[in-house]
Structure 1
Amino acid sequence: MGTVTDPVEDGYDDTHVHNEFGIQAYLGTYIEVEGDFDRTFFFVSEEARNRPFSEDEQTFQRLLGQWVKYELERQQRERFLRESYRITSDPDLEFEAKLDQLLELGREQFGLEMAGLNQLPSWNGPFRLEKGIGLGIDADEELWSDPDVGCFCRRTIEQDEPVSMQDVSGTDWADDSVHQEFGLTSYLGTKVSSGATPYGTLWFGSTEARDRPFAETEQTFIELIGQWVSYELDRREHKQDQQELYRITADPDLDTEKKIDELLELGCDRLDLPVGMLTRKRDESFEIKRMHGEHPQLGEGSYTPPLTDNYCRQVVDTGSTVSVADAAAAGWDGDALYHEFGLECYAGVQLTVGDDAYGTICFTALSPRDVDFTDAEETFLELMGQCVSYELERNQREDQLQQKNDRLESFASMLAHELRNPVAIGQIYSQQLPGEGDAEAVEYVTEAFDRIEDMVDVMLVLTRGREAVEKETPVELADVAAKVWNDVDAPDTTLDITVEHTIDADETYMRHLFRNLLDNAVEHGGSDVTVGDLPDGFYVADDGTGIPPEDRDAVFDEGYTTTADTGGTGLGLAFVRKLADVYEWNCAVTESADGGARFEFRNVT
């Protein structure tokens, strides 16, 4: 508080305000504004005052000053919060740009020239500068620091509250390597985390001592910035983990067990828990099917105590995520997995296959966590549960499909075996029918037996694939095409054979391939069919109406036919594609030089 009633008498007659502005009386108070420039709040007069300012008047002035101080600090807080919100809510800014602006805002707010985000890769190791401003280093330059216990960032990361130092002089901090190497003399920092795991520190500092301690408001400001950075770090890590989650489940080179092993390892890393398990619900207990990490009593094949309440049963009974950071503190110490196996924290989610509960995927430890599981961690766990459920269901469908295929293959083999003998006998006897018999009927019978034989071969290739092709011999494609053409009823169509390739294949199946292709060319083509060479294979082309581009894949589907009314089965071209796949040829439909269809086979040896 300052008062002047007579400048001459009080010794202020040579001051600037008296000489320049003629101030004769003054009543003012000094206002220290936290985190901002200090102010004076005063009343003046150009006329001398005939009496001193009373105690009541000075008290009133002090009250006014306190109100002004409160308003200035409130406005400052609101300005800081508005600017912080503007930066953090800007959808056009990435994390790095937002962090830059927040560090600049903090430097201005605290009056310090340096700021940074430090990461601590290992708990007892040095800190790595992830982002720094005002340090005089290049943006791509690596900077590491290793403060002593109780100093600078080392102390900050061990505290839940912000850490401040007005001036290191005369303290243990003055001997620390950070002060000695970088000259950091005043410091304000706060811990930042990613989920429950400490990540590093957010700090502001100067090479100059600060003229006053860091105010409570300033410590609140850095804490707010630190909370936002922690949230963004957690979100960034969650996004990275989510991408890794999808990468694992989409990897075609991993089988189901390997995917689950990698997902359990990922979950342990994300939740910072040492043990991950996939459990299968049984009638009275849960069986551990897969496990990452070690436990003195539990392992793959272990069962939970039967007919007891436990974490996994709560997950399945509720159908929702269950998490507890400290089972004893939460009143879960009666859980069987707690008191029998010492699992003091737990996070699990239900797995389903179809509409049925399969079990759980869960993560646990023999000691409690320091903090509760975050929303981001529970969301990550739910996504993992969905991915694992999908993988289990897909695996089940594939097993069921394989079982059906095995039964179909077995049936096809049995049917082929049962049909071949009577067909062969029928063919022999049909050739011995008396010449005076009905020639047309004999021809129908012979063709029917041949058709049945063809169907047996087609069925075997379609169901057994490579196993059906038992023998490979040199096959001259021109000879096979000519022999097949002799049996094709096409008096108005000409076949031009220019192919010269000899390949290794089963001649019986090559006859079926050409028979299907040539029948298709006669059925849908014009008057000319060509069997020709390609540099690495062969082709069969016609001069008919061709096949529209949108139908060129569909013609190879089993059951696809445009001649169902005349007996078409839709298996002919399906057999062609299947046989090409068996021999690892590339098979495709294009347009012939005459506008018809051209079936090309490449990579043929």
Structure 2
Amino acid sequence: MYHRTMAPNSRVNPVTVVGASIIVATAAVGTLAGVELGVLSLQAAVPGVIGAGLIAYGWFRADGVVGSKRWTVLKWTVAGLLAFTVLGAWFGEMAARPETSISLSITGSLSVGAALGTVIGVYAARIRRTNELLAETVTELEAANDRLERKNEQLDQFVDIASHDLRNPVNVAQGRLEIAREEFDSEHLETTDDALTRMNTLINDLVSLTKAGDQIEEVVPVDLGAVSRSAWGSVETKDASLTVETDGDIYADESRLRQVLENLFRNAIQHGGEDVTVTVGLLAEGFYVQDTGAGIPDDLRGQVLEDGVTTGGDGVGLGLSIVEQIATAHGWKIAVEQSAEGGARFEFVGVKSPE
């Protein structure tokens, strides 16, 4: 069933409707009462002013809450109407009896007004205190956000400096290693080269881990197959092989997508063996990367994307964490499954593609 609703910021809201109703009702009752104009003006002054005030408030000051919570407003309007109907009948009855005291009737009227004002005052005090607490919370959150921004800036500076200072000695060591290879041959040189290569990879992972989450630049249609082959060429694949089962496009930051694929390819080769086969393909709403390796144990599938979690080998558990950060920055979700061959399968969902 279709229900017509008031726009959140509409000037036609419960407050203006009630105000207009008061004026209309006062005019109708005054006309039917048949009293003199002077008496009518005197008796209609208060409800007329109240009605006009409500219309003005609803027209100029009422916010979206009034429109969206109109039934709450109208419920309390009806409750107030019923309450004062009873009080009005009582006051009318008292005024009609010649033996009653006008002073007591006035006292009763004043007591109702005082009680109503007290209740409104209590709620006003509560609302004021709530607003004060909200203001304090906002101030604290703004201060915490400023501190967080400063810490992030310091972290970025630290990473830049640390990576530069770490790369310099590694580069020097690699240069010396090449000279040593020209002078003599030793199995220790190969071990040293592996260690230096691993050090470079670790430095790159640390830099990516701190910056991957907030550096999604331009999201454009990207050829998943072409980027997969390019990323494969950047990884030391040994005897491993790549199968691309797609020629479709997806929306992504190409450089970040390439980084995702490179990390997944390295992970597959590191944990799946030098002759592992890696496959990339499209899903209905995303894509997948799977391998023919040993797979990921069931108890680690829910944790493998976290920092420092590894299934063994020489890794330190940063590569898949970087993958998760980049996917999150794109708005993608990752499901870690088992491939048909028993290896690892990473499914990326929520990925948009050109129509």
TM-score (norm 2): 0.59
2:334 corresponds to 1:451? no
* C-alpha deviation, 1:573, in angstroms: 1.2
Which residue is 2:207 aligned to? Answer: 460
Which residue is 1:539 aligned to? Answer: 288
Measured against aligned partners, the alpha-carbon deviations of 1:381-410 in whole angstroms (never above 9, x if no partner) come to 222222222221122112111111101101
Percent pairwise identity: 21
Matched residue of 2:180: which SS? coil
- Describe how 1:346-495 pairs up with structure 2 within 5 A: 374-434=121-181, 437=184, 439-465=186-212, 476-481=227-232, 484=235, 486-487=237-238, 495=241
Q: Give the conservation status (yes or no) of the 8 Å contact 1:531–1:540.
A: yes
2:249 corresponds to 1:498? no
Structure number with larger C-alpha Rg? 1
How far, CA to CA, are the matches of 1:461 and 1:211 in structure 2? Answer: 83
How far, CA to CA, are the matches of 2:190 and 2:20 in structure 1? Answer: 89
2:337 corresponds to 1:591? yes
* C-alpha deviation, 1:579, in angstroms: 3.5
2:278 corresponds to 1:530? yes
Measured against aligned partners, the alpha-carbon deviations of 1:435-469 in whole angstroms (never above 9, x if no partner) come to 67454322222222222222232222222345698
Measured against aligned partners, the alpha-carbon deviations of 1:131-184 in whole angstroms (never above 9, x if no partner) come to xxxxxxxxxxxx72456xxx98xxxxxxxxxxxxxx986794367897xxxxxx
How far, CA to CA, are the matches of 1:227 and 1:562 in structure 2? Answer: 74
Change (3 A) 1:402 1:175: closer
Matched residue of 1:434: which SS? helix
Q: Give the conservation status (yes or no) of the 8 Å contact 2:243–2:278.
A: yes
Matched residue of 1:389: which SS? helix
2:257 corresponds to 1:517? no
How far, CA to CA, are the matches of 1:169 and 1:467 in structure 2? Answer: 77
Measured against aligned partners, the alpha-carbon deviations of 1:330-361 in whole angstroms (never above 9, x if no partner) come to xxxxxxxxxxxxxxxxxxxxxxxxxxxxxxxx
Measured against aligned partners, the alpha-carbon deviations of 1:40-68 in whole angstroms (never above 9, x if no partner) come to xxxxxxxxxxxxxxxxxxxxxxxxxxxxx
- Describe how 1:198-237 pairs up with structure 2 within 5 A: 202-203=84-85, 213=96, 215=100, 219=105, 223=109, 230=116, 234=120
Q: Give the conservation status (yes or no) of the 8 Å contact 2:94–2:105.
A: no
How far, CA to CA, are the matches of 1:433 and 1:517 in structure 2? Answer: 34
How far, CA to CA, are the matches of 2:147 and 2:321 in structure 1? Answer: 23
What is the identity, as a one-letter code, of the residue corresponding to 1:418? D
Q: Give the conservation status (yes or no) of the 8 Å contact 1:127–1:145.
A: no
* C-alpha deviation, 1:588, in angstroms: 0.7
Matched residue of 2:346: which SS? strand
How far, CA to CA, are the matches of 1:170 and 1:581 in structure 2? Answer: 76
Change (3 A) 1:430 1:463: same
Q: Give the conservation status (yes or no) of the 8 Å contact 1:462–1:575.
A: yes
Change (3 A) 1:458 1:588: same
Aligned residues, how many? 289
535-544 vs 224-233, greater mean Cα deviation = 224-233
Measured against aligned partners, the alpha-carbon deviations of 1:253-280 in whole angstroms (never above 9, x if no partner) come to xxxxxxxxxxxxxxxxxxxxxxxxxxxx
What is the identity, as a one-letter code, of the residue corresponding to 1:533? G
What is the identity, as a one-letter code, of the residue corresponding to 1:534? L
What is the identity, as a one-letter code, of the residue corresponding to 1:144? V
How far, CA to CA, are the matches of 2:15 and 2:335 in structure 1? Answer: 60
- Describe how 1:5-16 pairs up with structure 2 within 5 A: none
* C-alpha deviation, 1:531, in angstroms: 2.2
- Describe how 1:256-405 pairs up with structure 2 within 5 A: 374-405=121-152
Q: Which runs of 5+ in 2 are unaligned?
A: 1-13, 45-49, 58-76
How far, CA to CA, are the matches of 1:232 and 1:530 in structure 2? Answer: 74
What is the identity, as a one-letter code, of the residue corresponding to 1:398? N
Change (3 A) 1:177 1:226: closer
How far, CA to CA, are the matches of 2:308 and 2:157 in structure 1? Answer: 21
TM-score (norm 1): 0.38
How far, CA to CA, are the matches of 2:246 and 2:271 in structure 1? Answer: 26
**RMSD (Å) for aligned C-alpha atoms:** 5.3
Q: Give the conservation status (yes or no) of the 8 Å contact 2:181–2:189.
A: no
Matched residue of 1:591: which SS? strand
How far, CA to CA, are the matches of 1:428 and 1:211 in structure 2? Answer: 107
1:572 alignment partner, one of 309, 313, 319? 319
Change (3 A) 1:404 1:546: same
Matched residue of 1:431: which SS? helix
How far, CA to CA, are the matches of 1:445 and 1:397 in structure 2? Answer: 45
Q: Give the conservation status (yes or no) of the 8 Å contact 1:591–1:598.
A: yes
Matched residue of 1:560: which SS? coil
Change (3 A) 1:422 1:170: closer
Structure number with the higher helix fraction is: 2
What is the identity, as a one-letter code, of the residue corresponding to 1:530? V
2:306 alignment partner, one of 557, 567, 570? 557
What is the identity, as a one-letter code, of the residue corresponding to 1:481? W
How far, CA to CA, are the matches of 1:211 and 1:480 in structure 2? Answer: 92
* C-alpha deviation, 1:530, in angstroms: 2.8
How far, CA to CA, are the matches of 1:170 and 1:585 in structure 2? Answer: 73
How far, CA to CA, are the matches of 1:460 and 1:417 in structure 2? Answer: 10
Matched residue of 2:304: which SS? helix
Which residue is 1:600 aligned to? Answer: 347
How far, CA to CA, are the matches of 2:95 and 2:325 in structure 1? Answer: 84
How far, CA to CA, are the matches of 1:229 and 1:528 in structure 2? Answer: 82
Change (3 A) 1:168 1:229: farther
Q: Give the conservation status (yes or no) of the 8 Å contact 1:538–1:600.
A: yes
- Describe how 1:128-207 pairs up with structure 2 within 5 A: 128-129=20-21, 144-145=24-25, 172-173=38-39, 202-203=84-85
- Structure with greater contact order relative to length (CA < 8 Å, sep ≥ 6): 2
Measured against aligned partners, the alpha-carbon deviations of 1:274-298 in whole angstroms (never above 9, x if no partner) come to xxxxxxxxxxxxxxxxxxxxxxxxx
Change (3 A) 1:397 1:550: farther
* C-alpha deviation, 1:375, in angstroms: 2.3
Measured against aligned partners, the alpha-carbon deviations of 1:495-542 in whole angstroms (never above 9, x if no partner) come to 4512455887349x83x5445323433565598543212157542213
How far, CA to CA, are the matches of 1:220 and 1:176 in structure 2? Answer: 18
Matched residue of 2:181: which SS? coil
